[in-house]
Amino acid sequence: MVNILEHIAVHEFAYLFLLCGFFCLTAALFIKEILFKTACIVLFSVFIALSIAEFSLYYSMRPVFTESVKNIKFEPDNKKEIVKCARFVDKNKRDFFCFNENIDYELKNAGNKLLGIAEYTLFTNGFRHTRCDTKGLKTYIFLGCSFTFGEFVNDDETLPYNFSKLMNFEANVLNLGVRGKGTNRALSILNSGIINKIGNNTKAEHFIFSLIGDGIRRNFRLTEGDSSGDNWLYKNEKWSRVPQPLGMIKLIFARSYIFRRIFLEPLESKYVDFYAYYLIDSLVEMDRVIKDKYNSKLTVIIWPEFGGKFIRKIRETNLDLIFLPEEFRKYENGYYNHPNPKMNEETAEILYNHIVANKN
């Protein structure tokens, strides 16, 4: 029963069009007026065509899953588990990741090529373990998305790990990167108070946020749920959806593959500046919360994929910024597919020199 409901949810508009088509066909059987009968038959054909298009587009697009923020608990947890992450490339040369029991299933697909397997040590609250001194006098907190989390690299290859290594593992280093999320989730973490709990109430010496170009849209992406959307904000002990242009339209048509393929991008493109300025404003808000709530500092690491207009705008703020070198674009398995171990190591060195070595 659950699988049937999940199937219907994934193909919601396809079945809605089928239902409308059935209604039109039924009406055509009982209506005697030729004009109206013809109109019903035409509408039946249109709805059937739309339904077929919805089913067909499903195979070239990711299904939509609505994220339930009610399941997110900002609680410390010392229990850990090992998660295996496999990276594949399919017959259409598209990269994708899968985890644990799904790996064997994808291995059986002859169209997939296994690129490798990485292991994550995760706390059961979802955050990733980093080797450090949890009782260190200073705590460094890493925020961001999968670039911070360390997608498809082992525990000793992430950005936070390499930074902790440069600190001789004598500081408390927290990896609070959340895959697929952006500044809204980072702000929610800051507002939740969990940092003081998992930081053992030591001094929050510095916060680091890794900013990628996809973060501009991510704060307003309603149509991809928990895969790469971040449209919820936690503040004053409650969650609320962040208002945005076309928000209600996108919510209503979120499960329509036709809408997403044909109409969504042209509509979104009209609000690029709005999304970009919101991202900058949310970073400024993060900086304010960090200063007021944690008496600490924020450094933003910016990956080399932003346009000049965005860079000029963010430079007008008082944010502490690190611009990573353009050479990072040239790495094999470059950062568009997530940073490789070498890139994380070099980024950690740049960061260490910026906030630690220069300070000393």
- pLDDT tens for 96-153 read 788 887 888 888 887 888 888 899 999 988 899 999 998 898 999 999 999 999 988 9
Q: Does residue 119 lie in a domain region?
A: yes
Same domain? For 47 and 195 the reply is no
pLDDT at 71: 67
Give the residue, 43 or 8, on which the prediction is more confident: 43
Closest CA to 231 of 251, 206, 255: 251
Q: Does residue 206 lie in a domain region?
A: yes
Same domain? For 184 and 289 the reply is yes
In whole numbers, what is the pLDDT of the chain averaged over residues?
A: 88
CATH number for the domain spanning 333: value is 3.40.50.1110
pLDDT at 232: 87
- Assess whether pLDDT exceeds 90 at residue 77: no
Cα distance between residue 158 and residue 175, in whole Å: 9
Q: Does residue 64 lie in a domain region?
A: no
pLDDT at 296: 96
Q: Does residue 63 lie in a domain region?
A: no
Q: How many domains does the chain have?
A: 3
Same domain? For 299 and 205 the reply is yes
pLDDT at 68: 63
Task: Give the residue-averaged pLDDT of 204-223.
Answer: 88
Task: Express each pLDDT in 39-69 by its tens digit.
Answer: 999 999 999 999 999 999 987 776 665 566 6
Same domain? For 250 and 290 the reply is yes
Token pair for 339: 């940073």
Same domain? For 51 and 73 the reply is no
Contact call for residues 154 and 83 (beta carbons, < 8 A) = no
- Assess whether pLDDT exceeds 90 at residue 183: yes
Q: Does residue 308 lie in a domain region?
A: yes
Please enumerate in sequence order all residues whose Cβ is within 8 A of that of 138, keeping only pairs 6 or more positions apart, or say none.
171, 172, 202, 203, 205
Same domain? For 191 and 293 the reply is yes
DSSP SS3 for 128: strand
DSSP SS3 for 134: coil
Same domain? For 246 and 349 the reply is yes
Give the residue, 288 or 107, on which the prediction is more confident: 288
Mean pLDDT lowest among 88-97, 187-196, 216-225, 263-272: 216-225
Q: Does residue 115 lie in a domain region?
A: yes
Mean pLDDT lowest among 267-271, 296-300, 345-349, 356-360: 356-360
Please enumerate in sequence order all residues whose Cβ is within 8 A of that of 302, keeping only pairs 6 or more positions apart, or say none.
211, 311, 314, 321, 322, 323, 324
Same domain? For 107 and 134 the reply is no
- Assess whether pLDDT exceeds 90 at residue 166: yes
| Domain endpoint, select from 105, 123, 141 | 123
Q: Does residue 227 lie in a domain region?
A: yes
pLDDT at 161: 98
- Assess whether pLDDT exceeds 80 at residue 184: yes
Cα distance between residue 307 and residue 292, in whole Å: 31
Q: Does residue 139 lie in a domain region?
A: yes
Cα distance between residue 125 and residue 129, in whole Å: 11
Contact call for residues 51 and 58 (beta carbons, < 8 A) = no
Cα distance between residue 227 and residue 217, in whole Å: 13
Same domain? For 30 and 89 the reply is no
Give φ, ψ of 39 to 5 degrees.
Answer: -60, -40
What residues make up the domain containing 104? 80-123
Closest CA to 204 of 148, 136, 157: 136
Same domain? For 20 and 155 the reply is no
Same domain? For 293 and 267 the reply is yes
Same domain? For 216 and 323 the reply is yes
